[in-house]
Structure 1
């Protein structure tokens, strides 16, 4: 420390001596006064362990920064794992959605096929019902035509018989019909 003080004093006094203005060691020399004040200031700092305190403060700050960096790394790692987890879940959900869409398409195709089959059966039933109605209407029309033909034939036969038959023949036919009915009832 003494060597350092002597070196500092020598260096500080050198410009003043070179200029030749004032003696190197004098209180009137401002460079010398500043040098003494600086040496005293550095001495006080060393006496009160300010460099050590500054070093400890810097070490604490460095340790705090290191811990913050470690926390940041841990948070980054956690965020990356969460991101990977969410991406995996997203893929799983997308796959599930694709499966649901595929199943829905299959179900829709099956429902469409079933609806088509049901429609064909319904058409067949309606055709059969229509054919039955047509056959029934045809039978009714045929029966009606027969009934009319019979009625017309009976009426025509009645007219022909009435024109050719006499009253005595008519009374004889009526008596025979009564007798026949009487025989059948008793």
Structure 2
């Protein structure tokens, strides 16, 4: 058996490689595989290119959306700053207005107090004048009463009649 295997092995080696069927089966396999692999590679490449294009489109869309979001954020931040500035201006205006109103109220209060003081002083002056007139009237009445009593006790009826006639005669001169 050894001799048969050796003879077959020797025969096998005696044939050139291109005359062997296994060689041509291998070449045919690689040609078929190569020809079949080329469209598969193209399909895979096209699929990968399409997927890459979709991913690129999504990335571009995401970048566009990100830019829009940043623009909107900047717009809202600007609006917020403007609103804060406006609020600060309103507060400053309100403080200034409150200060002005407080000053005006202080002036009005001061003027009102001065008016009331002047009115009180006028009332006091009127009361003093009234009291003075009343004291003068009382003093005149007391003086007249005292004079009447003194004259009544010291003057006779003839002298009193002469004094009354004299006073009546002088009356027109004193009225003009």
For the superposition of Structure 1 and Structure 2, which TM-score range results when normalised by the shorter chain?
A: 0.5 to 0.7
| Residues 1:134 and 2:134 aligned together | no
| Residues 1:164 and 2:133 aligned together | no
> Which residue in the other structure is 1:154 paired with?
144
- Any unmatched runs of 5+ in structure 1? 8-45
The structure-2 alpha-carbon separation of the partners of 1:110 and 1:4, relative to structure 1 and needing over 3 Å to count, comes to farther
Match of 1:95 among 85, 89, 103: 85
Q: Please give the alpha-carbon distance, in whole angstroms, between the structure 2 residues aligned to 1:3 and 1:94.
A: 82
Deviation of residue 107 (structure 1)? 2.4
Match of 2:163 among 162, 170, 173: 173
TM-score calculated relative to the size of structure 2: 0.64
| Residues 1:108 and 2:80 aligned together | no
Q: Please give the alpha-carbon distance, in whole angstroms, between the structure 1 residues aligned to 2:128 and 2:173.
A: 41
Q: Which has the higher contact order (CA 8 A, sep 6+)?
A: 1
Q: Which has the higher helix share?
A: 2
Aligned residue pairs, count: 146
The structure-2 alpha-carbon separation of the partners of 1:100 and 1:178, relative to structure 1 and needing over 3 Å to count, comes to closer
Match of 1:68 among 53, 58, 65: 58
Q: Please give the alpha-carbon distance, in whole angstroms, between the structure 2 residues aligned to 1:154 and 1:72.
A: 118
TM-score calculated relative to the size of structure 1: 0.61
- Any unmatched runs of 5+ in structure 2? 1-24, 31-35
Q: Please give the alpha-carbon distance, in whole angstroms, between the structure 2 residues aligned to 1:131 and 1:51.
A: 116
